[in-house]
Chain A
């Protein structure tokens, strides 16, 4: 079993829909959680960063962490064609414990 599981998709939704992207993990020591957006042939761009449990909102994006269920989510409201990309989750326990990445979910927003 992988330490971080992420559905690879592809996921296609119509423009304006709410998108939900998810990762599950097995290591209860993880306390730093990140979401990255990666456009084709580009490097990952940090979208959201949260520490421990709870919600964080930034514009159309909301990150949720549920440590009791070992489950994190990224919600995108009013999705736009420019949101079409691969979304990677990443997490770590901090300190010398390296970042662990999901394999990414490919998202397409259909105009």
Chain B
């Protein structure tokens, strides 16, 4: 079974803090993705990576950055957290680009 593990289930951070969300997959997938999910807006793609050290902006990259130093690990960074970044963050990985994506359990981030 594919396993995608996100480092935290729940996080509470203060406005202006730098926040790191970590994601690790154990299936040697080249493709990794970060989404946020908000009621009524569905899943929105923040950043993705098709290879180590490679990153591409998704639909809503503003206020975020990513790091992929190793194939299995993809980190999402909130440079200066703001209240409008309160959301459910989902990491995913896939063997083929943009097909069967496997998701982690999600991190519910609250910025106060």
Contact = CB atoms under 8 A, between A and B. Distances in A.
A46 B2 CA distance: 11
B106 A41 contact: yes
Interface of A: 32, 34, 36, 41-46, 49, 88, 90, 92-99, 101-104
Interface SS of A by simple majority: loop
Interface of B: 4, 6, 40-43, 45, 48, 58, 88, 90, 96-106, 108
A9 to B, nearest CB: 13
A103 B39 CA distance: 9
Contact of B42 (A45, A93, A98, A101): A101
Interface centre among B45, B88, B99 (most CB of A within 10 A): B99
A94 B48 contact: no
A90 B101 CA distance: 10
B74 to A, nearest CB: 15
Contacts of B100: 32, 34, 46, 49
